[in-house]
Chain A
Amino acid sequence: MRSIGEYLRLYFMIEAQYIKGRMQYRADFIISSIGMFFSSLATLGIFWVIFESVPDLAGWSLMEMVFIYAFYMIAISPMQILFDHAWQLRFHIQQGTFLKYYFRPLNMMFYYMSEIFDLKGLTQLAVGIVLLVYASLQLNLDWTLIRIALLFITLFSAALVQISIVVIASCASFWVLDSYPVLGLAWKLREFSPYPMTIFDGAFRFAFTFIIPIGFVSFYPSQLFLRPQDVSSLIYFSPVIGIGLFALTYWVWTKGVNSYTGTGS
């Protein structure tokens, strides 16, 4: 078995080369980054339009919504940057090119995901960081050391939740021919995570908290920084939820990999 250190070293080596290779397509990098930038701003535009008409959304102000959204942007970046290859899983499976990932003495999820390092995701991360700083300044948030540590822990957990949702959805292609709608649904759900979970009634809030826990991608952890006085104790379980969900994802992936038969004879 390889140690985590060895895998990390290998990962950096592969990505360094990958980025060098991608840099030859500078125009693509620029246009994709612009696309990413616009798509990051679209939701913000929607907030702005909504708040043109109403003073608050379920008791949350525009700037608080910007904070929640910024948290969300940062939390989904690791998925975008490190796990973007999940989107192409169904093509590899349909066309039989997925076979090659079996032939190396490596962890298959590692080997598969390491093949793409999505540069445009860095734009998303940057926009998220800028917005988070801006919103915290506007809201006069008090950043103590403990809070900063909590920020990193909750971001890490939120990132794992988001990665898990997308990777599990992409794994559907191991069993069904047309897995795109599953992935599409997971993607659509992602768009709801920067809204206050309190707008939903019982069943939906339950589902978004415990079944497809998109509440943990942004809203619940953000509360810890925006309104620490009335935060639910649920949020302290977020690392458990993040890690647990990722473990489940890894189990599903392994099942999928083992049940895959390859196309053709």
Chain B
Amino acid sequence: MSLIHVKDLSKHFKILNRREGLGGAFRDLFSGDFRTVEAVAGISFDIDAGEIVGYIGPNGAGKSTTIKMMTGILKPSGGLIEINGLVPYENRIRQAQIMGVVFGQRTQLWWDLPVIESFKILKEIYKVDQKTFDEHMDMFNELVGLKELYSQQVRTLSLGQRMLCDITASFLHNPQIVFLDEPTIGLDISVKAKMRTIIKELNRTRNTTIILTTHDLGDVEALCNRIIIIDKGKILYDGDIKKVNALFGAYRTLKLQIDQFNETTLQTLNDKLTEKFGTDHGITISENEESWTDVTIDQARTPLSEVLNHLMTNFTVMDVRIVEISMENVVRKVYDGALT
């Protein structure tokens, strides 16, 4: 039997439509105009013990809502979740004992206390015995070198240090499942690397199931062996990371700032590229904010360097950046049938 069983899960919210302007604000005072939003619209999956699953999708896709239902905060509007055969919403305290959660940048440690005191309180809350506690602390110290932070107040830690402490804390009671929601957001590369090391190591040595939601495709590539892509409350893809990996790996986006950008520029760009690379060039062009143009290139079909060269000779390019494909673009590609 699988550890997490989700079947036809859905959740909808009622939202008040606010009217614009002064008059609208006044009318809202007396009457409400509600609409229903389907945050999660019927999803099903099973997760086994020891898996690391990347649960990804663009903003507002329904990721957090799913996680909130799995952690027992939200009651589903329809469908079923079972963790270890129990419904999280009905068994919050028991479920909390076997779960660890890190929610974005909001710390769950005690703001005014030194780090080690927060850990000691958690030890009591989760009834961790002294021996296990010492072993844990030693292990984390070895992995990430937390010892020097022990005596510092949580509020004085940097974001990266705090997130490391939070992640460490979430594993303290040896949970079966850990939910990590955007654990690397806003962190610098070295802390990100540390974070990934601990997560991998813990999954390996303790067979902890990890569910990771993130915008950072680097996290997904480094950690997950399975990925679930969700958009508009529905699952777009659920399967092996390798297929998707090819997708992130092959695509790069050139961000260009072109001199004298106007309405016809996009068209001209497209014409020039078709002229050079033929119609099957695998390049998509879209306008980004404030005269930046995104040129997304499938490197399997057209080498990035040639595209760049060609553009530089034909346009006055003032600035160039090369970025990995974004979450939004991955989702767009999946919609376009890239995985089927």
**A and B: direct contact (Cβ < 8 Å)?**
yes
| B113 and A262 form a contact (CB under 8 A) | no
Complex interface residues of chain B between 66 and 115 (CB less than 8 A to chain A): 68, 71-75, 92-94, 96-97, 99, 101, 103, 106, 108, 110, 112-114
Interface assignment of B64: CB less than 8 Å from any CB of chain A: yes
Expressed in whole angstroms, the minimum distance between the Cβ of A110 and any Cβ of chain B is 11
A47 to B301, CA, bound (A): 87
Identify the 10 closest CB pairs spanning chains A and B, nearest first: A21-B112, A105-B96, A105-B97, A103-B101, A100-B108, A265-B60, A102-B73, A17-B117, A105-B93, A17-B113
Complex interface residues of chain A between 249 and 265 (CB less than 8 A to chain B): 258, 260-262, 264-265
Interface assignment of A14: CB less than 8 Å from any CB of chain B: yes
| Apart from A102-B72, A265-B65: 8 A-B pairs, beta carbons within 8 A | A10-B121, A13-B121, A17-B121, A100-B101, A104-B96, A105-B93, A105-B94, A265-B64
From A14, which residue of chain B is reached at the shortest CB distance?
Answer: B121
Residues of B within 8 A of A10 (CB): 121, 124-125
Expressed in whole angstroms, the minimum distance between the Cβ of B162 and any Cβ of chain A is 13
A197 to B237, CA, bound (A): 68
Expressed in whole angstroms, the minimum distance between the Cβ of A184 and any Cβ of chain B is 19
Number of chain A residues close to chain B: CB under 8 A: 28
**Contact A105/B112 with A265-B59, A265-B60 known, Cβ cut-off 8 Å:** no
Interface assignment of A58: CB less than 8 Å from any CB of chain B: no
Interface assignment of A99: CB less than 8 Å from any CB of chain B: yes
| A100 and B65 form a contact (CB under 8 A) | no
Interface size class of B (residues with CB under 8 A): 35 or more
A110 to B85, CA, bound (A): 28
Complex interface residues of chain A between 100 and 124 (CB less than 8 A to chain B): 100, 102-107, 115
Interface assignment of B63: CB less than 8 Å from any CB of chain A: yes
| A262 and B74 form a contact (CB under 8 A) | yes
A107 to B125, CA, bound (A): 11
Interface assignment of B183: CB less than 8 Å from any CB of chain A: no
A107 to B124, CA, bound (A): 14
Expressed in whole angstroms, the minimum distance between the Cβ of A84 and any Cβ of chain B is 14
| B112 and A18 form a contact (CB under 8 A) | yes
Residues of A within 8 A of B160 (CB): none
Interface assignment of A22: CB less than 8 Å from any CB of chain B: yes
Interface assignment of B126: CB less than 8 Å from any CB of chain A: yes
A21 to B120, CA, bound (A): 15
A264 to B73, CA, bound (A): 14
Query: Among B39, B68, B106, which residue has its beta carbon within 8 angstroms of that of A97?
Result: B106
A99 to B92, CA, bound (A): 13
**Contact A262/B64 with A21-B153, A103-B101, A106-B93 known, Cβ cut-off 8 Å:** yes
Expressed in whole angstroms, the minimum distance between the Cβ of B273 and any Cβ of chain A is 36
Residues of A within 8 A of B62 (CB): 265
Interface assignment of A45: CB less than 8 Å from any CB of chain B: no
Interface assignment of A55: CB less than 8 Å from any CB of chain B: no
| A22 and B112 form a contact (CB under 8 A) | yes
Query: Among A1, A22, A262, A265, which residue has its beta carbon within 8 angstroms of that of B63?
Result: A265
Interface assignment of A96: CB less than 8 Å from any CB of chain B: yes
Interface assignment of B223: CB less than 8 Å from any CB of chain A: no
